[in-house]
Structure 1
Amino acid sequence: MAADVHHISLRVSNARRLLKDLVDKFHFSLFTERVEETAKQFAVRSGSAIFVVNERAAGEEGEVIQTGLCNNVSGVTSENTRNCSSGGCHHLYDFSDIDTPVDSVCNVAFEVEDVDSTLERVVRAGGRVLTDIKVTEDEQGSVTHAVVQSPIGNVVHTLLDKKLYKGLFLPGFEATNGASRMQESTVRLSHFDHVTYACPMGSSPPILEWYERCLGLNRFLVNRDESEDQGFIVQGTDVGMRLKAFEYWKCAKEGLNMPGSSSDVKPKVKFVIAEPLPGQGPNQVETFLEQHGGPGIQHIGLHTPDIVSSTRQLRAAHVQLLKPPDTYYSEIGKLSEIHQVGQSLTALKDNGVLLDAEADATDNDHWNNNQRYLMQVFTKPIFDEDTFFLEIIQRCGATGFGAGNITALWRSVQAYLDQREQQEKSKNKSS
């Protein structure tokens, strides 16, 4: 399977703690690392999903700087190496001069067919280039790469061309003991399904425009009830959010030109923008923006071929999962929906799994066209702050997102945040 998202980078204060959770709880495999005096980077994999965990380092005067080396990595040559200056430092395959005061997901790296033409498109469209094209190599070959700033907070996109590289990951990284014994993950999280951004109110139009102009990604409707202009509105007495989404089509004539592009391959890259609605009061998107210090990646969806089995294993590993509202499984039509696709209500309810019909399916074709539906479960935030979390998703022919699940997610997260707020208030009173 051709790579679309090559890897996603996280920048955290304690890499070992996050690694332990990803390996012990989510059954990722640590397979390569780059550990030097001023750089600690670790890559973990489950299926084709790769997270690079970067430990944020303290500067000489105690300020937080970005993990990475200013000079070439030992044994690795690099052209046009960028020097560190005034708060920014070149990180191997990743550069950002915007840092957050908390743990954060900072980079979605794309593997592309041609870095030169992709970067040229970004420049023509007025995008900001953070690092020009570089060629980094070791004894396994070379990788061409560049980094561009996204329109969303501290998120950057590394563009990688690996056609001339035969190594395990990227030049500068060394295999760990886990690389030789990598096997199918017991939880079987197979690949990245989608990335969701939390953004300020009204910010989605320029974001969508940037991704279309600079990278050739196209808008798609997340739900059949969505307005193309207004997006999909999730609104009620305790709900208020606008969603818009975009993706990369491998049959596109221009854009990222990912390896393996062909007209018969369905899109793989999905991005969702979540923004609050006016007049809704405090909510999860605004909580993210406040605690993260600005817009960024709120959650990442990981696909599994068997969500019930995976969820059971995650719970057994003490992964904290959000509980759907008590009324979710008794909503009108939900029991019938679950039974008609052959799923067990007891299994879904016991594991907190949400099920919803295909976003663009009609009442007539939903059950007759490959039973298009999706199932989802969500973790509680995995950082100290109420910011980033993971979603486990199983797609059964579905390509969009279900309205019922979106609403249930919102209410689940909001209930959790309200509970946390009450606990903090009680804690402050007692102290």
Structure 2
Amino acid sequence: MAAPARRLCHIAFHVPAGQPLAQNLQHLFGFQPLAAREANGWRQLALRSGDAVFLVNQGVGPEEPLYGLDPRHAVSSATNLCFEVADAGVAARALAARGCHVPVPPVSVRDAQGVATYAVVSSPAGNLSLTLLECSGYRGPFLPGFGPMAYVPSPGWVSHVDHLTLACSPGSSPTLMRWFQECLGFHHLPLSPGEDPELGLEVAVGSGSGGLRLTALHTPTGRAVPTLVLAESLSGAAGGQDQVEQFLARHGGPGLQHVGLYTQNILEATEGVAAAGGQLLTPPEAYYQQPGKEEQILTAGHDPSLLARGGILLDGSKGKFLLQVFTKSLFVEDTFFLELIQRQGATGFGQGNIQALWLSVQEQAARLQES
């Protein structure tokens, strides 16, 4: 591997001035403003909940935003994943030797709290770039060049990023998988016994022959790096474009479709988000009436009526369960959403929940078309 990732430092977004992403993260999802920077036409605001850090870049400056790259993308988008590496210079040279484009060569930034060195590498996943950050000696709240924000009490529903899901072009998953393996030290994570890494997990949804192909990747134990999930459409979906195809069309190509945020108490988090005005996807009515679903929920130690009221999905068996709830898109372009997830021993993503999410998104898209 060229540049083994040690941990995910932050996820960066590019939005136009006035877009409410930063305010929504704070007021709807309990993130706390951490640090800010205004310079050269950019306003950069870092927000945090637990170990999950989002960096919102607003504006268009004559220079690249600090710790990132302006992709000049046409719509609001999650545009950068920042990973800590042992040596940013060595990592950048190793990736360049593999043929990777390094639009921002290694640069050091210093303030009174220490120094950080970073480089930005283009990825093969659409407009998504990767920042390789060396900051083990930095003592400030975020990164050099940013001023700390006053502490604002927040609910703290989220503890860390559980997974990142990339919407991929048809047939591109094997190429992307190999790139993340060879360049950042990821490994294939089977989602089903005996899974072929080249084929991933195929999840049939709907009445046609379409569905999703999911390929999961993770890093060795001991690294604070979320699972990376590659999602692509399978041909044959009935009723027009599916959600991955819709993302590709509206986003203008592959990219980060959603971020799974881990919560220790999904009921409390969901109630808090809804009370604050956050919009959550509603599962199909039939989801909670499936044969055996009520018994499954009770076995997991939950109240079926409470899960149904919050739109929380549950999947699993043999004492290992997964609970999930999904937000509606955070952007008007309908290109990015969040997921709240709680695990009770389960390590996968729940095929039944994937099908329910698929149908929820399809029903929401149909309602939007009718309105």
Short-chain TM bin: over 0.9
Distance 1:141 1:192, change over 3 A: same
The 8 Å contact of residues 377 and 393 in structure 1, kept in 2 or not, is answered as yes
For the residue of structure 1 that corresponds to 2:285, the secondary structure is: coil
Separation in 2, partners of 1:17, 1:291: 19
Which residue of structure 2 aligns with residue 363 of structure 1? none
Relative to its length, the structure with more strand (as a share) is 2
Deviation at 1:22, TM superposition (A): 1.1
CA displacement 1:67-89 (0-9 Å, x = unmatched): 4x63xxxxxxxxxxxxxxxxxxx
Structure 2 counterpart of 1:338, one-letter code: I
- Quote the offset at 1:333 in angstroms: 2.4
Letter in 2 for 1:277: L
Question: Can you list the C-alpha shifts for 1:370-410, whole angstroms capped at 9, x where unaligned?
Answer: x3211000000010111100000011122211110111111
Alpha carbons 1:122, 1:215 under 8 Å: kept: no
1:23-48 superposed Cα distances (whole Å, 9 cap, x missing partner): 11111111210013511100111111
Structure 1 counterpart of 2:52, from 43, 49, 52: 49
Contact 1:122 1:213 in 2 (8 A): no
The question of whether the paired residues in 2 share the 8 Å contact of 1:9 and 1:52 is answered with: yes
Structure 2 partner of 1:36: 39
- Determine the structure 1 residue equivalent to 2:67: 93
Partner of 2:203: 234
Q: CA deviation at 1:188?
A: 1.5
1:8-87, aligned counterparts within 5 Å? 8-14=11-17, 17-57=20-60, 67=61, 70=63
- Which of 255, 263, 274 lines up with 2:231 in the alignment? 274
Aligned partner of 1:60 in structure 2 is: none
When residues 16 and 325 of structure 1 are mapped into structure 2, their CA distance, relative to the original with a 3 A threshold, is closer
User: Are residue 337 (structure 1) and residue 296 (structure 2) matched?
Assistant: yes
Contact 1:302/1:393 (CA < 8 Å) preserved in 2? Answer: yes
Residue 119, structure 1, aligned to residue 92, structure 2: yes
Cα deviation, residue 268, structure 1? 4.1
Q: Which runs of 4+ in 1 moved over 6 A?
A: none
Q: Is the 8 A contact 1:31 1:43 kept in 2?
A: yes
TM-superposed CA distance for 1:128, in Å, is 2.0
- In structure 2, runs of 5+ residues without a counterpart are none
SS in 1 for 2:178: helix
Which of residues 102, 114, 127 is equivalent to 1:129? 102
Give, as a single letter, the amino acid of the residue that structure 2 aligns with 1:383: F
CA distance in 2, matches of 1:109, 1:143: 13
TM-score by length of 2: 0.92
Which residue of structure 1 aligns with residue 361 of structure 2?
413
Alignment check: 8 A CA contact 1:198 1:288 kept:
yes
Do the aligned residues in 1 keep the contact of 2:29 with 2:157 (CA within 8 Å)?
Answer: no
Q: Distance in 1 between matches of 2:223 and 2:54?
A: 23
Give the whole-Å Cα distance in 2 for the aligned partners of 1:16 and 1:418. Answer: 25
Q: Does 1:395 align with 2:343?
A: yes
| CA RMSD, Structure 1 to Structure 2 (Å) | 1.9
Report SS of the residue matched to 1:129.
coil
Tell me, yes or no, if the aligned pair for 1:108 and 1:156 is still in contact at 8 Å. Answer: yes
Structure 1 counterpart of 2:370, from 414, 422, 431: 422
TM-score (norm 1): 0.80
Q: Deviations over 1:321-349 (max 9, x none)?
A: 00111111122222221111211111111
What is the CA deviation profile of residues 75-132 of structure 1, one whole-angstrom value per residue up to 9, with x for unaligned ones? xxxxxxxxxxxxxxx2211125x43211000001011222234334423433222222
Query: CA 1:223–1:379 in structure 2 vs 1: closer, same or farther (change >3 Å)?
Result: farther
Q: Distance in 2 between matches of 1:3 and 1:343?
A: 35
Q: Which residue of 2 aligns with 1:313?
A: 272
Q: Determine the structure 2 residue equivalent to 1:214.
A: 183
| TM superposition shift of 1:3 | 6.9
CA distance in 2, matches of 1:145, 1:373: 39
1:378 aligns with 2:326: yes
- Alpha-carbon distance between aligned partners in 2 of 1:401 and 1:133, rounded to the nearest angstrom: 37
Pairs within 5 Å for 1:252-331: 265=222, 268-280=225-237, 281-331=240-290
Tell me the percent identity: 40
Query: Which residue is 2:172 aligned to?
Result: 203
Separation of aligned partners in 2, 1:112 and 1:421: 45
Q: Determine if contact 2:11/2:80 at 8 Å carries over to the other structure.
A: yes
Counterpart secondary structure, 1:190:
strand
**Greater mean deviation of Cα atoms: 396-405 or 276-285:** 276-285
Aligned length: 363
Taking structure 1 as reference, are residues 37 and 209 closer, same or farther at Cα in structure 2, changes over 3 Å only? Answer: closer
Q: Distance in 1 between matches of 2:315 and 2:175?
A: 30
1:145 aligned to 2:102?
no
Q: Residue 56 of structure 1: CA displacement? A: 2.8
Query: Contact (CA 8 Å) 1:133, 1:145: kept in 2 or not?
Result: yes
Contact 1:5/1:110 (8 A) holds in 2: yes
Letter in 1 for 2:288: Y
Q: Which residue of 2 aligns with 1:85?
A: none
Larger Rg: 1
Task: Please state if 1:157 is matched with 2:105.
Answer: no
Give, in whole Å, the separation in 2 of the partners of 1:210 and 1:3: 17
- Amino acid of the structure 2 residue aligned with 1:246: L
Query: Measured at CA, do residues 269 and 133 of structure 1 come closer, stay the same or move farther in structure 2, by a change above 3 Å?
Result: same
